[in-house]
Structure 1
């Protein structure tokens, strides 16, 4: 991935998400009469600075380190020794505000992130985006195959909730699985019949590894049958040694006549270090080649390959499988709210299951992985990049609401204690909480960066 795409896409994403979050705090503070001293996007040395012309003379800053931001409000507790706050400004100090006002200012940041996600999802729904119909392909001897699913069946609902696209089905499957491992699928068979299939996932740990939750079910998107054509052959690989060439059409591999790339790849992966016989069509003539799939440890891939790149499915299949998913203004907004709520709940449940060990800590991502996804989605298209922004915005909102000191949720937890006992927590308690919060956040950052580096090395 080109750094000329990754870096700008990442900086734009972080800039938007941080600005929106901090603007939530800023806007509510101003509306409730609290004096704001500084609005900063980023930390460290200011790269750009401007002071407002009004009486408050608010300092607006864009700083060098883009990983966050802050809104500095007038607060007597932060007044250093020797400083004096004018008497007329004391009623506007944050620490002198009623409990509900302070809570409203703190919660406004995460709420702004959720509102941004709603608007983005609504915008994507109104613009329209390419979507795959929820046709399923199943892997042999997988939970999906055991449940009776057949290639080409269309999932119309899960537990009675309709699915319009592959993405809708994927998210709904995860959401319903986190509620109960017993799932009831409504499907339409290839002959148009309506059936229901019961999928029992009670013995499937979908998230105990970094990725591949749907792979564990044996669930893949289905495409109609098409010719398997070799696009390129890598040098010094089993395919090259066997004489396979670009533009060869794979007619048969052993006794299997592949109807698409996935069937061919799965057969290869199941025959590591075992010779397989390829029947190919080249220049109108049929030829037979013998090739032995190998596992290449240097590639970081633990499955067998032959070193041949296969051509993408023909564009003519798009009309059958792909469609433009779009809605009107009202329905788009409603769907935006539903999707934001669904993503928030799923994110929170997955975080909870990390504490119990049911979800691998390898799923935690840091700035490097986020930057990579920013670049990938930006290179695919505008609506895909918007969807990435919405997902990260939801995650940022949920994360900041966790009851961890230093985060917005930690402040809200202090306010809850204050409301219960009738007085603020002591300065000593806040100091201890700050150190605990620093340790937790620091540990999470180290873990996230470790995961990032591990992904890069692999």
Structure 2
């Protein structure tokens, strides 16, 4: 319940901030163009709070916090007194109407840059693009533990998430990725990861794993936290022991211990477990015993437990001074916009799964998760969401800002506004398209809540 309340709260905060900036963009430019604004509302439905300024604009916070709007004086919606016709939106030039409509998405774009600037000045903690272990495809390509990824297909990367996104993009496009790394000997080398060989219908969320890459931050040291009483490990292993080998097989992380124990149990008889204890490397004899796992299935056990850390410590920080953070924020905005537009293109062409379309449930969950990780991560989330609102609102779908801009561009070409009937038809089409998109988003949200 705590997670649910936190998710709802941070979604309201996030949408409240982003919608306020979006609508303020419309409002500010409308006032500069001499349009009378009747209401500035954050949220839909019944107003919970309202104030009126000296220009007659009502500022409201409404009950349903999933959007907002700016209502302007417009003869197509309300009866306008002859003395106020010059203040009506529909009496403004087409270029003024374009500026007013485009101002909302532009405000979200500016906010994205500002949030990323603040994030970089504060310093965003993250995980470096260092490889912890390789198997299969990655191992065959020559990638090794300790390699630090510098670029993927000539696109520079610093963090593991940037590298994973670049690899995912290459995999969706079905081409092999050129991965530039700095190895343990400080040599820069280029490896070719044959992502085109991934099977059809692969899960796009796990491209790195499917390619045989495990990032270093995913590897938890095999440090014994507890020894189960009356187990095979009692009297042999101690809390604080770091397991470095099992039956001659090297152990680099806790997730390798169980498979090694299963192999030892199947072989039968005792085996040697090598540990680091108090600065010494010890070889200790142990014999696994057969028990049952959490699902009641037979398994070989020695009776040790490892720390269940919720998140490993960050190993890198992206931080710049106030001036250097400006171009860094612009570059990150361009990178995020390229990724978002590329994903939309791939969804349309069928190269990417429709599961990449997310809705308010996912937004709420990610808002809560990033808020818990710290201000730096929450600023990043707000920036990405603000950019997404900018891009989505510019789609040429009637009812969205992009649809209105399409109407005005047609008006510029033909020299006169579209007919009321044509615009009404467009609105119905837009509503249907938006309803379909929202339905898909909700479906994916619900699917994401179902355990797999």
User: 1:105 and 2:100 equivalent?
Assistant: yes
Q: How many angstroms apart in 2 are the aligned matches of 1:119 and 1:338?
A: 12
Deviates more, 1:182-191 or 1:157-166: 157-166
Deviates more, 1:241-250 or 1:391-400: 241-250
Q: Which residue matches 2:35?
A: 34
Q: Which residue matches 1:57?
A: 56
Q: How many angstroms apart in 2 are the aligned matches of 1:227 and 1:122?
A: 35
Instruction: Determine if contact 1:205/1:358 at 8 Å carries over to the other structure.
Output: no
* Residues 177 and 287 of structure 1, relative CA distance in 2, 3 Å threshold: closer
TM-score (norm 1): 0.83
Number of aligned residue pairs: give it: 435
Out of 115, 123, 130, the residue aligned to residue 128 of structure 1 is 123
Deviation readout 1:6-41 (Å, 9 max, x if unpaired) = 232221111111111111111111111111110000
Q: Which residue matches 1:5?
A: 6
Out of 196, 199, 215, the residue aligned to residue 202 of structure 1 is 196
Out of 365, 382, 389, the residue aligned to residue 389 of structure 1 is 382
Deviation readout 1:49-106 (Å, 9 max, x if unpaired) = 1111x2x210001001011100001111112xxxx41222111211111111111111
Deviation readout 1:252-308 (Å, 9 max, x if unpaired) = 45653311134447x48998x9899986679996533245786959xxxxxx99898
Q: CA RMSD, aligned part only?
A: 3.7
Instruction: Determine if contact 2:132/2:214 at 8 Å carries over to the other structure.
Output: yes
SS of residue matched to 1:388:
helix
Instruction: Determine if contact 2:167/2:208 at 8 Å carries over to the other structure.
Output: no
Q: Which residue matches 1:432?
A: 425
Out of 79, 82, 87, the residue aligned to residue 82 of structure 2 is 87
User: 1:419 and 2:406 equivalent?
Assistant: no
Deviation readout 1:196-216 (Å, 9 max, x if unpaired) = 222333344798536223323
User: 1:187 and 2:181 equivalent?
Assistant: yes
* Residues 24 and 8 of structure 1, relative CA distance in 2, 3 Å threshold: same
Deviation readout 1:313-337 (Å, 9 max, x if unpaired) = 8x9x96xx71332112222111111
**Structure 1: runs of 5 or more not aligned:** 234-238, 298-303
Q: How many angstroms apart in 2 are the aligned matches of 1:368 and 1:232?
A: 38
Q: How many angstroms apart in 1 are the aligned matches of 2:155 and 2:403?
A: 36
Written as runs of structure 1 = structure 2, the 5 A alignment for 1:183-332 is 183-204=177-198, 209=203, 211-222=205-216, 227-231=221-225, 247=239, 249=241, 250=243, 252-253=245-246, 256-264=249-257, 267=259, 286-290=285-289, 296=295, 310-311=306-307, 322-332=315-325
**Structure 2: runs of 5 or more not aligned:** none
Deviation at 1:5, TM superposition (A): 2.6
* Residues 296 and 29 of structure 1, relative CA distance in 2, 3 Å threshold: farther
Instruction: Determine if contact 2:19/2:67 at 8 Å carries over to the other structure.
Output: yes
Q: How many angstroms apart in 1 are the aligned matches of 2:128 and 2:413?
A: 51
Written as runs of structure 1 = structure 2, the 5 A alignment for 1:169-180 is 169-174=163-168
Q: How many angstroms apart in 2 are the aligned matches of 1:227 and 1:100?
A: 62
Written as runs of structure 1 = structure 2, the 5 A alignment for 1:307-456 is 310-311=306-307, 322-456=315-449
Instruction: Determine if contact 2:136/2:211 at 8 Å carries over to the other structure.
Output: no
Q: Which residue matches 1:66?
A: 65
Deviation at 1:4, TM superposition (A): 4.2
SS of residue matched to 1:329:
coil
Out of 110, 113, 130, the residue aligned to residue 115 of structure 1 is 110
* Residues 434 and 151 of structure 1, relative CA distance in 2, 3 Å threshold: same
Q: How many angstroms apart in 2 are the aligned matches of 1:194 and 1:345?
A: 27
Q: How many angstroms apart in 2 are the aligned matches of 1:74 and 1:453?
A: 40
Out of 135, 153, 156, the residue aligned to residue 150 of structure 2 is 156
Deviation readout 1:400-435 (Å, 9 max, x if unpaired) = 111111111111111121112112122112122111
